[in-house]
């Protein structure tokens, strides 16, 4: 495992991460999704050792993340939404500043990415577009030969064309079977295609963490008339919503549901966004009933 969190908790006054478990193998992409405030950034901060966990274990490259933090940081590429570069420096100067922190900097590789991404190296960072700033961070991450890319909302605020470009770059990154990408986002359509695994977090808890294909191939959105609902089957409907004309919900196994209810219902293949919506709605109901 390149990344493994076991029962990790962190308590703040008004928010807690509760017993987070997740693991990622080398050579794969994991999408980390959840609504704003669910705990995505907090989890990433804990992994990066930028905040101290209260309980649990975090291992990166099989090493304890706090004890080996320097060694680990050398092999992690961190890309996040906010710009953390000095605005007045040019992209080139910024790169020269950063490279001094890394023992495995590969300058020809950086130059190659700079060219591929079309980075204007002579421009001050403050004049770069949002997309260019993200690409600069990514070029830096890839040039110190990071084996694990951790990206916190890298696509937020970017246009669809640059987002697609980023996804293609990420797919090239994992070609060598050695690198992995851990990618938090609330734009689930980015992950519909390329993610191997999906982890959903909500109210500081992991609601599920599984292969994306499992989700998209099995789950279904079901819609039907309310007389089909009974006390017994309600619990099979995730995030059940009723209105005057009928109900809609998520089911874990759409083929089984199709057999059971036949043509009395409409069952559709879900998108990740729908899965997220229904599952977090259930989470909300559970939380309020406690």
Partner 1 sequence: MMNIILSQTSEDPIYMQIVKQIKAQILKGDLPSGQLLPSIRSLAKDLNISVITTKRAYDELEQAGYIVTVSGKGTYVADLGQEMLRETRLKMVEDKMAEAVSAAKSLGLTLDELHEMLKLIYEG
Pick 57 or 177: Cβ nearer partner 1: 177
Q: Which residues in this chain contact partner 1 in the complex, by CB under 8 A?
A: 27-29, 167-168, 171-172, 174-175, 177, 192-197, 211-213, 216-217, 269
Pick 72 or 198: Cβ nearer partner 1: 198
Give me the least distance between CB of 228 and partner 1, in Å please: 22
Pick 38 or 195: Cβ nearer partner 1: 195
Q: How many CB atoms lie within 10 A of CB 181?
A: 27
Give me the least distance between CB of 171 and partner 1, in Å please: 4
Pick 152 or 165: Cβ nearer partner 1: 165
Pick 55 or 213: Cβ nearer partner 1: 213
Antiparallel, parallel or unpaired: β 197-202 and 29-33: parallel
Give me the least distance between CB of 170 and partner 1, in Å please: 10
Pick 129 or 189: Cβ nearer partner 1: 189
Q: How many CB atoms lie within 10 A of CB 205?
A: 18
**Residue recorded with tokens 């693991």:** 23
Give me the least distance between CB of 26 and partner 1, in Å please: 11
Give me the least distance between CB of 32 and partner 1, in Å please: 15
Pick 58 or 215: Cβ nearer partner 1: 215
Give me the least distance between CB of 215 and partner 1, in Å please: 11
Per-residue DSSP letters for the chain? --EEEEEEEEE-SS-EEEEEEEEE-TT-EEEEE--TTSSHHHHHHHHTTSS--SEEEEEETTEETTTTHHHHHHTEEEEESS--S-TTSBHHHHHHHHHTT-TT--HHHHHHHHHHHT--TTSBGGGS-HHHHHHHHHHHHHHTT-SEEEEESTTTT--HHHHHHHHHHHHHHGGGSS-EEEEEES-THHHHHH-SEEEEEETTEEEEEEEHHHHHHH-EEEEE-GGG--TTTGGGSEEEEE-SS-EEEEES-HHHHHHHHGGGEEEEPPPHHHHHHHHHHHHHHHHHH-
Give me the least distance between CB of 269 and partner 1, in Å please: 7
């Amino acid at each position: 495992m390149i990344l493994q969190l076991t029962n990790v908790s962190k308590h703040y006054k008004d928010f807690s991460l509760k017993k987070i478990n997740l693991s990622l193998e080398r050579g794969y992409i994991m999408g980390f999704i959840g609504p704003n405030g669910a705990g995505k950034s907090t989890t990433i901060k804990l992994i990066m050792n930028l905040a101290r966990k209260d309980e649990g274990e975090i291992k990166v490259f099989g090493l304890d993340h706090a004890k080996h933090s320097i060694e680990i940081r050398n092999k992690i590429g961190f890309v996040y939404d906010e710009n953390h570069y000095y605005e007045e420096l040019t992209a080139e100067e910024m790169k020269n500043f950063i490279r001094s922190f890394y023992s495995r900097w590969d300058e020809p590789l950086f130059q190659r990415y700079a060219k591929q991404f079309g980075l204007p190296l002579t421009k001050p960072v403050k004049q770069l577009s949002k997309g260019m700033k993200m690409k600069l961070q990514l070029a830096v991450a890839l040039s110190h030969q990071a084996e694990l890319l951790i990206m916190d909302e890298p696509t937020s605020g970017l246009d669809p064309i640059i987002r697609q470009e980023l996804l293609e770059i990420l797919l090239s990154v994992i070609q060598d079977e050695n690198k992995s990408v851990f990618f938090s986002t609330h734009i689930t359509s980015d992950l519909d295609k390329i993610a191997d695994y999906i982890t959903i977090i909500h109210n500081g808890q992991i609601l599920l963490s599984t292969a994306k294909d499992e989700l998209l191939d099995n789950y279904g959105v079901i819609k039907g008339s309310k007389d089909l609902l009974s006390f017994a089957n309600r619990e099979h409907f995730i995030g059940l919503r009723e209105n005057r004309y009928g109900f809609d919900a998520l089911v874990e196994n759409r083929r089984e549901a199709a057999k059971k209810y036949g043509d009395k219902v409409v069952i559709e293949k879900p998108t990740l966004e729908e899965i997220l919506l229904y599952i977090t709605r259930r989470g909300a109901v559970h939380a309020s009933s406690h």
